[in-house]
Amino acid sequence: LATRENALTQVNLTSSTTGLSRIRESFRFDRRLSSFLARGMATQASEPAAATTTKWVGGQSQEEFMLKDMCILVNEADEVTGHASKKECHVFNEKQPRGLLHRAFSVFLFNGKNELMLQKRASSKITFPSVWTNTCCSHPLYGYEPSEVESLSNTEVGKAPGTINAAIRKLDHELGIRAAQVPAEEFKFQTRLHYCAKDVSTAEDGSGWSWGEHEMDYILLIKTEEPVEVNPNPEEVDDWKYVTPQELRAMMGDKDLLWSPWFRIIEKEFLHTWWENLDEALSTSKFVDNKIHKLEIPRAGGSN
């Protein structure tokens, strides 16, 4: 895995740097954020502090989401240790060279013909822009209703209701797929992936600073027999398509296409076994495990 995946942290993203420059200006050099950053966004605790929950509302800018959305921090056993802003979690620097480990999810949505929906992340995305990936990948958040904070007592029995709440929210936000088209009971939680990937397209030479991902990724499958209506959010998605396994392999062999690191790991390690046995994977617990698959992605120079 280390040999093949070495390129993952060296993703050669050639998309426009306009959005990246704008983000750097707003996050790194805007003096209006200095007091905000000085206070620090991470709330470290054995359990998250009590907070008034509210309903998540979309329609904000990428920058606003990075500052306001609170990711769920965990340790390597996936035990909740606190929460922090999305920005704080995704900054790689000398102080936190691997960012902050936080929960995420990856949805793999199949249609009635067992074709997988892929999306191409928007060029304006802050982390890993312009890459192809699975249907939807994002973060469960702290402090919202319905709750997205997963209990390990659920994962121990192959359930993930909080994470599924987050998946339904983001399928709507990113792709315009309404909740009624993806009922919670149709999702199947399969496993968890612990990985870390630096987005070198955002790295600043000599500073040690970049964006990146360090995630405890919950993998969810769903199949919709009826076609779903897709209305992509241009702030999130540049393109989308359904593919067969053969078409996916052809796409991944195209050197002009870029792929997210988490998708490349999942595709190599898990996806095709589930895909070849999709109805069984969705209707039984044959492929469900209570494991955390720690698949490290080497950084530049081969060190972790």
Residues carrying an active site annotation: 137, 215
Long-range contacts of residues 166-171, Cβ cutoff 8 Å, at least 24 apart: 166/105, 166/138, 166/139, 166/140, 166/141, 167/105, 167/107, 167/136, 167/138, 167/220, 169/56, 170/107, 170/136, 170/138, 171/107, 171/109, 171/135, 171/136
Half-sphere exposure of 300 (CA within 13 A, CB side): 12
Q: Which single residue is written with the structure tokens 């750097």?
A: 24
